[in-house]
Amino acid sequence: MKKCISVFLGSSILVAGLAGRVLAQDSGPPTLFVAPFSGDKTAIQYWQPALGEGLCEMLITELGKLSKFQVLESTSLGALKDEIKMGEDGWVEQSQKVDKGGFAAADFMFTAKVTRFGSKQTKIGLGGFVPGSLGNLGVKQSDSDVRIDWRLVDAANRKIIKTGSSTASKKGLGFDVGVGIDGHGGGIGFDNREFMESALGKATVMALKQIIDEVSTATIPESGRHKQKAGAANQQAAAASAATQALRSTPGKVLAVAGKDTLIVSLGANQGFKAGDKLNLYETVDTKDANGAVVFTDEKLAGELVLQSVQDDRSKASYSGSLEAKAGWIVKAR
C-alpha cells in the first residue's frame, strides 16, 4: 500500500507539470502540411495529378522560407514510411532505426484547387482563355493564365481560417506541359528552367507569391490541436492537484514522542509534505460510556509542528506548545 501511494503521488506530481510542458513543447511556430493541389478537370482539359504535386512542391519551398509555420513533409510520406518499415523488418540496426509514432502532428492544413492553368497562342486569334491548349502549348508567344483557389484549415476541427483566390496572367514563351510532365511529374517546379522562363511559369510564380503574401500577413489563431492538448493537460493537472490536496488533508497521528520538543508523525512525502512544512497538533480528549468504551473524541489545538526531516511515510517534527504531547494525538496540515 505504501508503494502504491508513493507511485500515485509521484504520478500526480508528474502530471501537474504537464500543462507547462505542453506549452513549452508547442512554443515554436504552428505546424502546417500542404496537400497536393487538385485541379478543375472541366476547365483544364489536360490536368493530371503530377501538375498538382509540382505546384505543391513549389509552394512548400516558399512557405518554408517563412517563420510563421513549421512546414511538415507531405509529398514524400511513402518514402518516410518505407524507412520506418526497413527498421521494423530488421534491415536497420535496432539502436538506429526510426520508430513508428514519431511524426509531428499538423496544426493547420493548406489545400488548393487550380481552376485555370494554361495558355493560348497569340497566332490562333481566339479570344478568352483556352483550357484545351494546355497539352499542346509549344514554345511560341502566348498568353498564360493561372488561378489558384486556396484555403487554410485548422486540422483539428476543420474550421477554415482563411481563404483566397490567387490569379496571374503573363505574355511570353509558351511551355508544352504535355511534354514536360508526360503523365509522370517532374516538369513543373523551380528546377525546370524552361518552365520558369515561360509565360506559364512566370504566371505561376506570380500566383504563388500572392498566396505567400496573404498567408504571411494573416492572423493565425491558436490551433484546435494545441487547445485540445492544453485542455487535457490542464484537466489532468487539476485532477492531480486535487488528489494531492486530498492526501495532504488526510489526518496523521503522533507515532512517538522523541523528546520534549521532538515528535515522530505518520505524515511524509507520500502525502505531499516536505521539510519546512507546518502542521497543527491536536490533543485528543475521549468521552467514554459506562462500560469504558470511547463514544466520542474531541480534538483540541495543542500547538504547531514544523517538519524537520521527511521520509516517505513519516517525518520528524519540532513541536512548540505548552502541553506535553502524547502518542496518538492528531496531526493535520494547516
C-alpha–C-alpha distance, residues 18 and 238, integer Å? 10
Q: 249-333 architecture in CATH?
A: Beta Barrel (2.40)
Residue 161, C-alpha cell as written in the block? 481560417
Does domain 31-222 correspond to CATH entry 3.30.310?
A: no
The single-letter DSSP state of residue 63 is H
Residue 130 vs residues 43, 133, 142, 166, 288: alpha-carbon distances, Å: 9, 6, 11, 19, 104
Q: Where are the domains of the chain?
A: 31-222, 249-333
Q: Which residue has the cell 494525538?
A: 329
pLDDT band at 79 (very low <50, low <70, confident <90, very high): confident
Confidence of residue 74 (pLDDT cuts 50, 70, 90): confident
- Report helix, strand and coil shares of the chain as percent, to nearest 5: 35, 30, 35
- The answer to whether the predicted template modeling score (pTM) of the entire model surpasses 0.75 is no
CB 267 within 8 A of CB 314: yes
**CB of 310 within 8 A of CB of 6?**
no
Mean local confidence (pLDDT), 253-258: 94
Cα 276-281-282 angle, rounded to 5 deg: 165
Q: Is the pLDDT of residue 23 over 60?
A: no
